[in-house]
Amino acid sequence: MPTVHTLSAPSPWVTRWSHLLTPGCSVLDVACGSGRHLHWFAERGHPVWGVDQNISASTQTVPQAHLTEADIEGGPWPLNGADGPQQFGAVVVTNYLWRPLFPTLLKSVAPGGFLIYETFAAGNETVGRPARPDFLLQPNELLQVCAGMRVIAFENGFVSEPDRFVQRIVAFAPALPGDPNPDRARHVL
Cα separation, 65 vs 67, in Å, equals: 6
pLDDT digit string, tens, across residues 144-158: 999 999 999 999 999
Task: Give 164's strand partners.
Answer: 159
DSSP 8-state secondary structure symbol assigned to residue 75: S
Is residue 172 scored above 70 in pLDDT? Answer: yes
Alpha helices by DSSP H, listed for the chain, are: 12-17, 36-43, 102-108, 141-145
* Residue 60 pLDDT class (50, 70, 90 cuts): confident
Q: Which long-range contacts (CB under 8 A, 24 or more apart) does 48-56 make?
A: 49/79, 49/86, 49/88, 51/78, 51/79, 54/2, 54/3, 55/2, 56/2, 56/3, 56/4, 56/5
Contact 14, 92 (CB under 8 A): yes
**Higher per-residue pLDDT: 150 or 62:** 150
Give the pLDDT confidence score for residue 162 in this predicted structure. Answer: 86
Is the pLDDT at 183 greater than 60, yes or no? no
Question: pTM for the whole thing?
Answer: 0.89
Domain boundary assignment for the chain: 20-187
Q: Alpha-carbon Rg of the chain, whole angstroms?
A: 16
Domain boundaries 20-187, corresponding CATH code: 3.40.50.150
Cβ atoms within 10 A of the Cβ of 152, count? Answer: 18
pLDDT at 180: 53
- Alpha-carbon distance 58 to 68, whole Å? 14
Q: For 110-119, b where at least 16 C-beta lie within 10 A, e where not — what string?
A: bebbbbbbbb
